[in-house]
Structure 1
Amino acid sequence: MDSLTQIVLGAAVGETVLGNKVGNKALLYGAIAGTIPDLDILARSFTDTITATEIHRGFSHSILFCVLFAPVFGFIVDRIESSKRIGWKSWSWLFFWGLITHPILDMFTTWGTQFFWPFDKAIAWNTIFVIDPLYTLPFLACTLVVLFLKKGSLSRKRTNLTGIFISTSYLLMTVLLKWNATQEFKKALDENKFNYSQISTRPAPLTTLLWNCNVDAGDAYLLADYSFFDSKPISFKSYPKNRNLEPTWKYEQSEENLRRLIDISKGWYLMEKKNGSWYLNDLRFGTMPINKDEEQFVFSYKLKEENKTLVAKENPKEPMDVTIVIYKLWNRIWGN
């Protein structure tokens, strides 16, 4: 999830663990704990795109990281807040829960997380977009109110738990919404007599009322969307795989790097050639409108052999009219 959401979640967890003893300091250090796992994004400044993408939501989002580093952060904060006299174990407990709830929430997103690192098994349940106002805003409101309530008071505890209850209830509801949307996609595939081996569904940006779908139909991928307010049948758009037209790279390391990039996409990818260059499109995140008539894949990588190896650079997003994007998304939510 986005940084603000993880800060709010961490703050609420910190308040639950130590709010009665340290007041708003529990919110502060909980927010810090909720932020720490995403610092792995700094790897982009020190390594190549493929390696940085592999690192993101890896070790720092694992239960191993939480177990190993919660005591370290707990010890450091105990030294900083020695006047509180609550001991490093209490601070470690706060950091453990602040750290571990971060990847647990990320499991519900499209990107997912390697919770059981070093085992190469990412968990991605695809039930909530990385930014969802309906999850974050009520939670944020409750957490802000907690800041101004008396330490240890019943009203403070109830307000904090209300925020956790609302956000958790909404998160669990997204699982049911995903199941419902998936059934609609499967029904449409059967009605159109499409043969397919895999189907992947995920919520559209900022909402769980509109859902996107990827379907592996053998020689092509089928992409579609569905709103709970739709009145017309689901329409699928076909993207031929054209695996036989993919380029052959000169160097063995290039093939290895391409395999790593395909592994990142979980096999949901398309290769295309534009203006003399090859691009790999990660289909898991679908497409997004850039203007009234055009769309582009959310994640696309430009491929080029340099120094006897394949280098991938994330394709910069084309300038887009945000007003048009939001307008199209808003209208699509309310039905086709």
Structure 2
Amino acid sequence: MDSITQMALGATLQGALLGRWQGRKALLYGALLGTQPDLDVVIDYGDAVAWMTHHRGFSHSLLVLSGLALLLTWLVRRLHPDAGYSTQRLLLTLWLVLATHPLLDCFTSYGTQLFWPLRTPPLAWSTIFIIDPLYTLPLLVAVGAGLVGGLRGKRRRLPVVALALSSLYLAFTVAGKWMAEQRVEQVLAREQIRPQALFSAPTPFNSLLWRVVILEGDYYYEALVSWFDRAPPRLERIPRGSELAKVLVDSPQHRRLAWFTHGILRYDRIGEQLVITDLRLGMTGFHPFRFVMAERRGGEWRLPPRVERWPSERGDLEHLRQLWLRIWDQRQPVPLAQWAQELSR
């Protein structure tokens, strides 16, 4: 999730558990601690693929963060031995503030290596967009009220109420993902399509309209599903360019990217360059993670020693407007195939 949400979550958690003793300082401490796992963004991992696939790695590991919580608990106790709260309460608070950061990240589509250094694939439950105001708003309200009025008396309950509301909303996003996949799987069964992989995620800034991607050989399908749809979803068939993957058989970056994304990739030849797109993130035709994986020179494909990001757009307000209208009306046209064609230009 975005840094503001992670800070708000950390502040709300520490306010709920230690606000009685620390007052407003609990909100500040929790906000600072809650964003710590993302400090790995300053590390240079070598190239664009390495940066993407190592981010949310060791700094998001529950094993590492549990050790950090123990260390911080020991340090705080040395500096403040007479604090009114118990060591167990302090340890629980610090662990929750740290651990909920990667756990919340797992609900997005990016991929979080929760059990690093184990070589398990990154977890991406993809039930919430990376920025979702409805999740963040209750937390921000609790933090703002706590900063203004303190955390005494009845106001001590505000962080708990905010955490309950945000958690209920997160549960709603899980239900939305299940709904979208169930409706698409019914269409796949009826049309006798046997997918290699199926991926679903909410469209930008909401959890009512879902985007589902289905891989099938050299093609993939995309569909939009809303909570308010009455008819079965429509599948858009789009070329995937998977035959170009043969060029990358000796590319360690390609192997790592395929592992990180669970193979939800698209391949395009653009001029004399082979560009890979991570189809999970962003929106159809507007994906932030695209990479130049090979260049054609003298009639042969050559692998670069350092992979660079391909410039990408973020979409525009007109596309967001079309998606917003599609939430409420299944007849609203959304040209997914046309948007996807933009990736090959």
- Shorter-chain TM band: 0.7 to 0.9
Structure-2 change in CA distance of 1:323 and 1:157 (3 Å): same
1:325 matched to 2:319? The reply is yes
Measure, in 2, the Cα distance between the counterparts of 1:257 and 1:59.
19
CA deviation vs aligned residue, 1:139-193 (integer Å, no higher than 9, x gap): 211221122334442x122211110110011111211111111111111222333
Task: Tell me whether 1:5 sits opposite 2:5 in the alignment.
Answer: yes
TM-score (norm 1): 0.86
Tell me, in whole angstroms, the C-alpha distance in 2 between the residues paired with 1:212 and 1:37.
29
Q: Is the 8 A contact 2:111 2:261 kept in 1?
A: no
Asked whether the equivalents of residues 287 and 313 of structure 2 are also in contact (C-alpha less than 8 Å), the reply is no
User: Residue by residue, what CA displacement relative to the aligned partner does 1:81-133 show, whole Å, maximum 9, x if unpaired?
Assistant: 75974699465543222101111111211123111111122222111111111
Q: Match for 1:300: what amino acid?
A: R
Q: In structure 2, what residue type is equivalent to 1:34?
A: G
Alpha-carbon distance in structure 2 between the residues aligned to 1:257 and 1:112: 16
SS in 2 for 1:287: coil
TM-score by length of 2: 0.84
CA deviations over 1:1-59 (Å, ceiling 9, x no partner): 1111111110011112211111111111111111001111112x463212211221111
Give the partner amino acid of 1:314: R
Q: Residues 255 and 310 of structure 1 are in contact (CA less than 8 Å); yes or no, is this contact kept in structure 2? A: no
Q: In the alignment, which of 262, 268, 287 is matched to residue 264 of structure 2? A: 268
The answer on whether the counterparts of 1:109 and 1:126 sit within 8 Å (CA) in structure 2 is yes
Q: 1:205 to 1:137 in 2, by over 3 A?
A: same
- For residues 86 and 71 of structure 2, what CA distance do their matches in structure 1 show? 9
Structure 1 residue aligned with 2:339: none
Shift of 1:206: 0.7
1:296 is paired with a residue whose SS is coil
Query: 1:329: Cα distance to partner?
Result: 2.3
**Alpha carbons of 1:199 and 1:178: their partners in 2 closer, same or farther (altered >3 Å)?**
same
Shift of 1:229: 2.4
Alignment of 1:278-317 (within 5 A): 278-285=274-281, 287-288=283-284, 295-304=285-294, 309-317=304-312
Separation of aligned partners in 1, 2:151 and 2:203 = 40
1:266-311 per-residue CA deviation (whole Å, 9 max, x = no partner) reads 11112111122110011122634xxxxxx33342112247x97543
The aligned residue for residue 237 of structure 1 is 236
Q: Would you say how many aligned residue pairs link Structure 1 and Structure 2?
A: 323
Residue 261 (structure 1) shift = 2.0
Q: Distance in 1 between matches of 2:71 and 2:81?
A: 19
Q: Larger deviation: 111-120 or 228-237?
A: 228-237
Q: Tell me the amino acid that sits aligned with residue 216 of structure 2.
A: A
Q: Distance in 2 between matches of 1:175 and 1:56?
A: 24
Q: Does 1:138 align with 2:138?
A: yes
Residue 111 (structure 1) aligns with = 110
Greater relative CO, 1 or 2 (CA 8 Å, sep 6+): 2
Say whether the 8 Å CA contact 2:287–2:312 is kept in structure 1.
no
Relative to structure 1, the CA distance from residue 112 to residue 265 in structure 2 (aligned partners, 3 Å threshold; closer, same or farther) is closer
Task: Report the AA paired with residue 113 of structure 1.
Answer: T
The separation in 1 between residues aligned to 2:70 and 2:325, in whole angstroms, is 49
Provide the C-alpha distance between the structure 2 equivalents of 1:235 and 1:161, rounded to a whole number of angstroms. 42
The answer (yes or no) to whether the contact 2:109–2:281 under 8 Å persists in 1 is: yes
Q: Tell me what 1:248 maps to.
A: 247
Structure 2: distance between partners of 1:265 and 1:187:
25
Q: How far apart are 1:74 and its partner, in Å?
A: 4.1
Q: Which runs of 5+ in 1 are unaligned?
A: 289-294
The question of whether the paired residues in 2 share the 8 Å contact of 1:75 and 1:88 is answered with no
Identity across aligned pairs (percent)? 34
Contact 1:58 1:113 in 2 (8 A): yes
Which stretch shows the higher mean deviation, 311-320 or 118-127?
311-320
Q: What per-residue deviation string (whole Å, max 9, x for no partner) do you get for residues 234-254 of structure 1?
A: 2222233443344636xx9x5
Aligned-partner Cα distance in 2 for 1:234–1:286: 20
Secondary structure of 1:15's aligned partner? helix
* Secondary structure of 1:200 counterpart: strand
Hey, what does 1:205 align to over in structure 2?
204
